[in-house]
Amino acid sequence: MSFKPVILWTDALIYLLVAVIIAFILYARHKEPLLAPWRQVARSRMAMASLVILFVYVGIGLLDSFHFRPMVQNDSKGGEVHYSPEVLSTLDVLLAPLREHVEKSYSAPFATHLYSKETLESPDGKTIRDYPRLEHGGAHLQDPERDRWPDIAATAGVAVLQGLGLWLVLTVLVIGVLVSRHRRGVGGIIRDVIAGRTALPWHVILLTAGLLLLLATSAADLGVKYHVFGTDKVGQDVLYQSLKSVRTGLVIGTLTTLVMLPFAVLLGIMAGYFRGWVDDVIQYVYTTLNSIPGVLLIAAAILTLQVYMQTHPEMFDTIAHRADMRLLFLCIILGITSWTGLCRLLRGETLKLSEIDYIQAASAFGVGHSRIIVRHILPNVMHIVLISVVLDFSGLVLAEAVLSYVGVGVDPTMNSWGNMINAARLEMAREPIVWWSLLSAFVLMFVLVLAANLFSDAVRDAFDPRLRKQ
Amino acid sequence: MFAYIIRRVLYAIPILIGVNLITFTLFFVVNSPDNMARMQLGMKRVTPEAITAWKHERGYDMPLLYNSGAPGLDKVTETIFYKKSLALFALRFGQSDSGRDVAYDIQQRMWPSLAIALPVFVIGILTNITFALLIAFFRATYIDLWGVVFCVILMSISGLFYIIGGQYLIGKFLQLVPISGYEGGVNAYKFVVLPILIGIVGGIGSGTRWYRTIFLEEMGKDYVRTARAKGLSEPLVLFRHVLKNAMIPILTGAVVVLPLLFMGSLITESFFGIPGLGSYTIDAINSQDFSIVRAMVFLGSVLYIIGLVLTDISYTLVDPRIRLG
């Protein structure tokens, strides 16, 4: 199957972000002062467990960031190639069974029948009202009543074995690497790992990875046969939706900061370094922006964007482009409302720094302003930038859900936890209640935010010089 | 002191002008009134006459900044900028796009918002301080560690979950209070109990952790060591000395949000069907009623700036060392 790659705006920014992170790792690899706080983060058990979880989320998000349009038909005469208007990602390809198993409407987790009764025609021609069988969920079962739970148990059992197998491979690999690095006996290394005496808390890392592997293999094996998290109103698999939403959450959490960072850093340092009227102007700008209630500014901006998009439909060739533009714009406007805090912190820190002798000495030697800022001030405020970036992340992920509820979040066609919650909320009055969309969105969001919070705590403890002294 | 307040109020004027310009740009320059009319009347089949009529009814049929067709001073006053944007300074909010008087609506809807926001604020702060003191008392023990972890867990749960979960558990499952709605007068208590409770529970995680940091920072200072050295018991140090001194950052952090309580909470109010300013704003956003959104943006900024001034004044009240000249 041939395809046409599509690079959305947010994709490009994600690649940029990944490139920046890789560049930093390569740069910092042999610089001890830069590494020291990270070593402290790496020693924290809580942080490393969170990091493993975050890696899984980031992996899913990255897989979902390579987009393409599959070829639909190839006109043999003109050799003209047509591409589907639907934009897919590599994650869609991996999750093809989940994506294609579409039912008619709601069905509960592991159900074999729809959630609501329908008029059916029985083989003898009579019409009855009953719950119809699902087209995919448990379709391989002869008698769902009898076979369903034994089949689920058997599949889960196999999945657990697979997961354990993968985990063993991983553990052997890790121990192999440790043995070859420390040049010690296998037994000693294993004892150290179990007792947690290694430099990195490998026992916690392996435990977390093992749990995640078990979850992954179970979801994979059961997800092919059943709808593990049920289906939504139009019969889409909820597990698929929740996994697709990972990218949206991550994009909002990271790109928002990426977008606002240059302004916050540049303006904050300039205000603190140049003082005088520069300081006044910058302070005026951020006080003004800050005094507009955040949600309202976002709402106003998104509303005007909506009007703009509706009056200029020709600018977007696919729905995905449109949704992506809105996502990017949401990141920008969230960035505008959230850069002021960081800017103020940086201004204060720069004010303090520029009084210190080494900056005074640099300017006495005739070093230019830009060079002082880049060489002497910027490296010394980076810890503030890093701390506020990691602390902001979880708040932004949570904000997405709230904004989608208000109706000014991501595009309604885009998969996001906020949209899932919003859609499921309308079914709360239903009896019996449709709870699975809501719960899976909340759980996936909770795990990501909790991991991010715990990780950012460790990063803050390691980087904040005030805390480091104590 | 008085001169300082005057100066602060004067300083607020350019900020409000800035806010006004931003909203003006967002609402009128980025999107022309023609576009707004088209959104309201339906995108496809809409005649130019209908658009003109819609604009005329709502007073949008004027030039943006300069009316060259009008005589004398009207060149400036008969414009959208003067009529729609500058009028906000006189708190003349005008009519909403659906024809209602915005100022009247705001006055009516302020009270239900306050009925929820004020108790959440007061009881919330008291609860958070209590928990934070407790955790600070047991600092560097397992109670402290797990208390903080528990706070982080509470913080990581989406606010929507608290609302939906609370509505389901207390409103639907236990049927203690109605799920949503509102009634004026004494009967309002039935409807506000649940939103207040959820508001408090939702804020415990981040609030407690925040106050704990303040307390711990305060406890590292010299006067605490002195108090311990002269033989005061730990609870006495905590309550008499630390709490009193920690009130300065606590109070100043709280005063900023005080005026904003009028605005209510967007999410809580619309989930519980409370006819306050929060749900008013949400409804306006959903029906794309730009004049209400504009009025609320301006009102919010004014209240925030009032909060900033109040913060500065409260500094002088709680901390005699600070004198504002």
How many Cβ atoms sit within 10 Å of the Cβ of residue A100? 11
Q: How far apart are the first and last CA of chain A?
A: 60
Name residue, tokens 């106050």.
Answer: B211
Name the closest residue on chain A to residue B179, using Cα atoms: A429
Name the closest residue on chain B to residue A405, using Cα atoms: B267
State what percent of residues in chain B have pLDDT above 70. Answer: 86
The CATH superfamily label for domain A238-469 reads MetI-like (1.10.3720.10)
pLDDT in tens, B233-251: 888 888 888 888 888 888 8
Residues from chain A contacting residue B159 (CB–CB below 8 Å): 398, 402
Taking the CA of residue A352 and the nearest CA in chain B, the distance in Å comes to: 20
Name residue, tokens 């230019």.
Answer: A368
What is the SS3 assignment for B3?
Answer: helix
* 8 A C-beta contact, residue B237 and residue B228: yes
pLDDT for residue A57 = 93
pLDDT at position B153 over 60:
yes
pLDDT for residue A470 = 43
Q: Find residues 175-234 of chain B whose CB sits inside 8 Å of chain A.
A: 220
Residue B294 or residue B117, greater confidence = B117
Please, is A47 exposed, middle or buried when counting C-beta atoms within 10 Å of its C-beta (0-12, 13-18, 19+)?
buried
**Which tokens go with A19?**
């490139």
Does A406 sit within 8 Å of B296, measured CB to CB?
no
Name the closest residue on chain A to residue B42, using Cα atoms: A310
Does A406 sit within 8 Å of B156, measured CB to CB?
no
For residue A86, report the phi and psi dihedrals to the nearest 5 degrees: -85, 130
Q: What is the mean pLDDT of residues B158-180?
A: 83
Q: What is the mean pLDDT of residues B220-224?
A: 88
Q: Where are the domains of chain A?
A: 238-469
pLDDT in tens, B16-35: 888 888 888 877 776 677 77
Taking the CA of residue A296 and the nearest CA in chain B, the distance in Å comes to: 6
pLDDT for residue B74 = 67
Does A405 sit within 8 Å of B267, measured CB to CB?
yes
Torsion of CA B235, B240, B245, B246, to 10 degrees: 40
Selection from B112, B53, B40 nearest residue B291 by Cα: B40
Does B15 sit within 8 Å of A398, measured CB to CB?
no
Selection from A311, A283, A267, A292 nearest residue B25 by Cα: A292
Name the closest residue on chain B to residue A299, using Cα atoms: B285
Choose the closest CB to A446 out of B15, B23, B157.
Answer: B157
Cα–Cα distance for residue pair B63/B43, rounded to 1 Å = 23
Distances (CA, A) of A412 to A326, A404, A408, A425, B21: 10, 8, 10, 15, 30
Q: What is the 3-state secondary structure (H, E, C) of B189-244?
A: HHHHHHHHHHHHHHHHHHHHHHHHHHHHHHHCCHHHHHHHHCCCCHHHHHHHHHHH
pLDDT for residue B145 = 86
pLDDT at position B93 over 80:
no
The secondary structure of residue B288, as a DSSP letter, is T
Does B305 sit within 8 Å of A291, measured CB to CB?
yes
* 8 A C-beta contact, residue A155 and residue A221: yes
The secondary structure of residue B260, as a DSSP letter, is G
Which residues of chain A are under the pLDDT cut of 50? 469-470
Residues from chain A contacting residue B266 (CB–CB below 8 Å): 295, 406
pLDDT in tens, B24-68: 887 777 667 777 777 667 666 677 777 777 777 776 766 666 666
Name residue, tokens 């296998």.
Answer: A186
How many Cβ atoms sit within 10 Å of the Cβ of residue A12? 12
pLDDT for residue A79 = 60
pLDDT at position B261 over 50:
yes
pLDDT for residue B64 = 66
pLDDT for residue B132 = 92
Taking the CA of residue A29 and the nearest CA in chain B, the distance in Å comes to: 32
Torsion of CA A119, A123, A125, A131, to 10 degrees: -10
Residues from chain B contacting residue A294 (CB–CB below 8 Å): none
Does A406 sit within 8 Å of B159, measured CB to CB?
no
pLDDT at position B174 over 60:
yes
Choose the closest CB to B27 out of A288, A290, A304.
Answer: A304
Q: What is the mean pLDDT of residues B128-147?
A: 89
pLDDT for residue B324 = 60
Buried b / exposed e across B150-166, counting CB within 10 Å, b at 16+?
A: bbbbbbbbbbbbbbbeb
Q: What is the 3-state secondary structure (H, E, C) of chain A?
A: CCEEEECCHHHHHHHHHHHHHHHHHHHHCCCHHHHHHHHHHHHCHHHHHHHHHHHHHHHHHHHCCCEEEEEEEECCCCCCEEECCCCEEHHHHHCHHHHHCCCCCCECCCCCECCCCEEEECCCCCEEEECCECCCCCCCCCCHHHHHHHHHHHHHHHHHHHHHHHHHHHHHHHHHHHHHHHCCCHHHHHHHHHHCCCCCCHHHHHHHHHHHHHHHHHHHHHHHHCCCCCECCCCCEHHHHHHHHHHHHHHHHHHHHHHHHHHHHHHHHHHHHHCHHHHHHHHHHHHHHHHCCHHHHHHHHHHHHHHHHHHCHHHCCCHHHHHHHHHHHHHHHHHHHHHHHHHHHHHHHHHHHCCCHHHHHHHHCCCCHHHHHHHHHHHHHHHHHHHHHHHHHHHHHHHHHHHHHHCCCCCCCCCCHHHHHHHHHCCCCCCCCCCHHHHHHHHHHHHHHHHHHHHHHHHHHHHCHHHHHC
Q: Which of B161, B163, B289, B292 to substitute to test the interface with A, most A CBs within 10 Å?
A: B161
**Which tokens go with A18?**
């990944």
Torsion of CA B102, B104, B108, B111, to 10 degrees: 80
Q: Give the contacts of A234 (CB within 8 A, at least 6 positions apart).
A: A102, A105
Task: Quote the mean pLDDT of chain B.
Answer: 81
Selection from A140, A138, A155, A154 nearest residue A220 by Cα: A155
Cα–Cα distance for residue pair A70/A75, rounded to 1 Å = 15
Q: Which of B285, B292, B294, B303 to substitute to test the interface with A, most A CBs within 10 Å?
A: B285
* 8 A C-beta contact, residue B24 and residue B16: no
**Which tokens go with A396?**
């932004």
Q: Is B247 on the interface with A (CB under 8 A)?
A: no
Give this complex's ipTM.
0.84
Name the closest residue on chain B to residue A433, using Cα atoms: B168
pLDDT for residue A1 = 54
Q: Is B91 on the interface with A (CB under 8 A)?
A: no
Reported as half-sphere exposure (CB side, CA atoms, 13 A), residue A395 has a value of 13
Q: What is the mean pLDDT of residues B211-219?
A: 88
Cα–Cα distance for residue pair A271/A269, rounded to 1 Å = 5
